[in-house]
Amino acid sequence: MSESLEVHGVEKDDLTLPEPTPGHFRWWLLHHLQYTVGTDPEHASRFDWRMALSHTIRDRAMAPWFEATRRTWDEDRKRVYYLSMEFLIGRLLEDAAINLGLRDVAAEVLEGLGLDFSEIADDEPDAALGNGGLGRLAACFMESMATLGCPGYGYGLRYEHGLFKQGFDGGRQVEAPENWLVADNPWNFTRPESAYQVGLRGDVVEEDGRSVWRPRFQVLAAAHDTPVVGYRGRWANTLRLWAALPGAELFDLDRFNAGDFTAAAEPEAWARSLSRVLYPNDSTDRGKELRLTQEYFLTSASVQDILRRYLKGHDELRRLPEHVAIQMNDTHPAIAGPELVRLLVDEHGFDFAAAAELANRVLGYTNHTLLPEALERWSVDLMRKVLPRHLQIIERLDAHEVELHGPRPEGVGLIEHGQVKMGELAFLSSHRVNGVSALHSDLVRTELFPALDARHPGRIVNITNGVTPRRWIKLANPPLARLITDTIGEGWETDLDRLRELEGHVDDPSFREAFGRTKHLAKERFAGWLRSEHGVDVPVGALVDAQVKRIHEYKRQLLNILWTIAHWQRIKRDPGAGWVPRVKVFGGKAAPSYHVAKDIIRLVNDVGAVLNDDPETRDLLRVVYPPNYNVSMAEKLIPAADLSEQISTAGMEASGTGNMKFALNGALTIGTLDGANVEIREQVGPENFFLFGLTAEEVAVRRAEPDHARAAIEQSEPLRDVLQAIAEGTFSPEDPHRYGGLLDLLWNSDWFLVASDFAAYDAAQTEVDRVYRDPERWQRMAILNVARMGHFSSDRSIRQYMSEIWDIVPAL
Ligand SMILES: *Cc1c(COP(=O)(O)O)cnc(C)c1O
């Protein structure tokens, strides 16, 4: 740890940059190209220009960053710490440029140099430090906190390899390692002065009546900071990512000197593995020791950093809740409760009850799923081995809850069947527990934690997710952003409810026409990207129908592809029936060990190969599945979509945020009453939403009926024909039994009720076609979707967290 030195005579003005006029911006860009990147402009590559441009823009983030830090200290403001194992950030350059108001000047200067902004921005690798929705939410929240001036830190892990790169080989998913750090990362600031020892394993001994943990290993957590700038560059927060380094004692010098180099380096390699890879599972828990160790590593380093920062300005830890809020993004950092209690009791001399109460007032827990396979549980034996002191504290917390609130029914405690239940631990450690949509929060209350809710009434609240309009409109869809600004003026970017003003223009033919042009432009751009990146041609002008998200049985990509086959069969029977041309876009990755999801991917690709090659239908129906869905692909696809597929089995999607991005960009939703779909439909109006399917309550009833799938299949001729075509090998002639497993699941179990919802989905799709044939009506509906989506800005979500959980007032 290294202290800052005293300096004299440095004024704030000494550091101020001049106005970013084109002339100055050009000078500064060329300066960085030569003196930071070290390249002669004559020979600079796209990478060199991207580095120079990133530094030029990054420089402008420093003043708001320093100023926000200074104000937070000077005004002794409460800070929120957002702990998340995932941050699915995507690219940073253009986002920072937009938020700092430099996008246009940068583009102009580059154009003068014969360069293209987008081409250079597209050179940046995605920071894919997350799997899907949960990680992307953390990224949107960071941006909103900065925009609102909510003093906050994001804490995560600096994975060397983010989410794997997906490719297809004969239609099958293949995974390749992702290497976002191989080239320089201009957004990274290494902070060698902020490093913490994280202990692991070892024993707990009793000394003078106190428990003392003697860890067997120490791993060093080294901080890497990225500034997160808010819109209009008025505030910036820090995303702090921890890299794991071996502590000095891990290197076995004796062994090394004895010539056993590999063995000597082993513990070192083990330490580094803590931040080597992101676990690629989405909504499943693999229960591996490395994962638990990663979670503790993130949490311990962060909590130590939080206490250090607090103690720099205060000496009374009892007042911690007045200055610190910690939000746990799912159960992954749920060890934060025991860790905070441990530090307060073992290092700062608190008694247990006072420490537990303090931790509870500081912590909040966001639940993201009801899926039993996603609710983390760790075996007591593993916990005892890796975190022996924490296991003691968990047992103590469990007993303490009974002391305070009386005996409780079976199965409510923190430990059950030899496993520590992290959901219950996070619940008991926190003063607030929130679900992420109204429906989901109700289910958290009634299905997941009914007994705990009864013991702690009012603890569970709802905060519906949101997305940042800066990235998801302004950056992703500049023509739409311009049209909005031309129509209702500036300011909607930070006051998204103002989109309502667009409603007054919905009957204006010239506005409708302009709106249609933005969609058309986005479709052309997406088609151009498909052609140049993937060599795929699609008919422009077709209805773009998209389902992009992780591949999971509950999200029901299977329902979508089965319907696509049914539609193809119908077109073939009657090619001249005036069909609406459609492009079906699929995108998304499957966890490498999730075999059913991988079969679904292969089926989509096999079906695509047959359909796209069918001269009778190919102008009317196309299936595309560009590999490696990520944030950058989402930014290109979402503005182009007409139809957004949000078709999960009701009761299983906690919220969804993809649904919000699509509707905000004028796609109409075909969806079930699940997650935030319910609220989206309420906001945009039921007449502007294609609803279908069983409700969550009906799902529970139907599941209990024996042979529900067989009954549904027998009642639907189109579905029978589809299943028969698959069974006959229509899409896998060289291997007709390839999908025997999937078909068997469908006929005999169908937990996700694909068969039961097929007929309703088919009817809703028919309605989609009917409405699409009336372009004026469709356009109206799309405009009303955009106009009524203001509620789903992540600014609204963060304002709610600030007032309902964190008790923080924004600085702006
Ligand atoms: C928004 C987003 C998600 C979440 O999508 P859902 O449809 O809500 O599951 C996942 N991945 C990426 C890259 C995203 O941008």
Task: Check if 364 has its Cβ closer than 6 Å to any atom of ligand 1.
Answer: no
657 CB within 6 A, ligand 1 = yes
Q: Which protein residue has the closest C-alpha to ligand 1 atom 6?
A: 658
Pick from 177, 79, 82: nearest CA to 128: 177
**What's the pLDDT band for 252 if we cut at 50, 70, 90?**
low
So what's the pLDDT on residue 204? 97
The residue behind tokens 């070892």 is: 202
pLDDT over 60 at 674, yes or no: yes
Q: Is the pLDDT of residue 423 over 80?
A: yes
Tell whether the model's pLDDT for residue 256 goes beyond 70. no
Q: Is the pLDDT assigned to residue 285 strictly greater than 80?
A: no
- Under the banding of pLDDT at 50, 70 and 90, the label for residue 221 is very high
> Ligand 1: which residue has its CA nearest to atom 7?
658
pLDDT at 603: 98
Q: Is the per-residue pLDDT at 238 higher than 80? A: yes
Kind plus residue range of the DSSP H or E element containing 295? helix 289-313
Q: What is the mean pLDDT of the chain?
A: 95
Structure confidence at residue 155 (pLDDT): 98
| CB atoms near residue 11 (< 10 Å) | 7
Contact 456, 432 (CB under 8 A): no
Does residue 10 come out as left (phi exceeding 0), alpha (psi in the -120 to 50 range) or beta?
beta
Q: What is the pLDDT of residue 411?
A: 83
* Residue 788 token pair: 């009524």
Residue 1 has pLDDT above 60, yes or no: no
Domain boundaries, the chain: 1-75+93-125, 78-90+127-464, 469-792
Ligand 1 contacts CB of residue 136 (under 6 A): yes
Domains 78-90+127-464 and 469-792 alike in fold? yes
Ligand 1 pocket test, candidate residues 178, 369, 549, 680, most atoms within 8 A of CB: 549
129 CB near ligand 1 (under 6 Å): no
Q: Name the residue at shortest CA distance from atom 3 of ligand 1.
A: 133
Q: Where is average pLDDT lowest: 79-83, 282-286, 377-381, 741-745?
A: 282-286
Q: Does 132 contact ligand 1 (Cβ within 6 A)?
A: yes
pLDDT for position 790? 98
Mutate to test the pocket of ligand 1, among 464, 465, 548 (most ligand atoms within 8 A of CB): 548
Query: For residue 483, how far is its CA from the centre of ligand 1 (angstroms)?
Result: 25
Q: Write the pLDDT tens digit of every residue in 637-657.
A: 999 999 999 999 999 999 999
**Contacts of 277-280 spanning 24+ positions with Cβ under 8 A:** 277/159, 277/160, 277/161, 278/86, 278/128, 278/129, 278/130, 278/131, 278/157, 278/159, 278/161, 278/162, 278/163, 280/131, 280/163, 280/164, 280/175, 280/589, 280/591, 280/592
Q: Closest Cα to atom 14, ligand 1: which residue?
A: 631
Q: Which helix (H) or strand (E) holds 199?
A: strand 189-200
790 CB within 6 A, ligand 1: no
Phi, psi of 770 (to 5 degrees): -60, -45
pLDDT band for 721, please (50, 70, 90 cuts): very high
> May I ask the CATH class of domain 78-90+127-464?
alpha beta
> Which residue from 131, 136, 164 has its CB within 8 A of the most atoms of ligand 1, so it is best to mutate?
136
The gap from C-alpha 6 to its chain's centroid, in whole angstroms, comes to 41
Q: Which protein residue has the closest C-alpha to ligand 1 atom 8?
A: 656
Any atom of ligand 1 within 6 Å of the Cβ of 64: no
Q: Whose CA is nearest to atom 4 of ligand 1?
A: 133
Q: Which atom of ligand 1 is least distant from the CA of 657?
A: 8
CATH homologous superfamily of 469-792 equals: Glycogen Phosphorylase B; (3.40.50.2000)
Residue 351, pLDDT > 90, answer yes
Gyration radius (Cα) of the chain, Å: 27
Please tell me the distance between residue 92's alpha carbon and the centre of ligand 1 in angstroms: 17
The mean-pLDDT minimum among 10-14, 159-163, 360-364, 466-470 falls in 10-14
- Cα 389 to Cα 341: distance, rounded to the nearest angstrom: 11
Looking at residues 370-388, what average pLDDT do you find? 92
pTM of the complete model? 0.97
54-67 per-position pLDDT tens digit: 999 999 999 999 99
Q: pLDDT at position 352, please?
A: 97
When pLDDT is cut at 50, 70 and 90, the band that residue 250 belongs to is low
The per-residue pLDDT for 251 is 58
With a pLDDT cut of 70, the percent of the chain lying above it is 99
- pLDDT score for 10: 83
Mean pLDDT of 660-683: 98
Residues carrying an active site annotation:
368, 549-550, 555, 657, 661
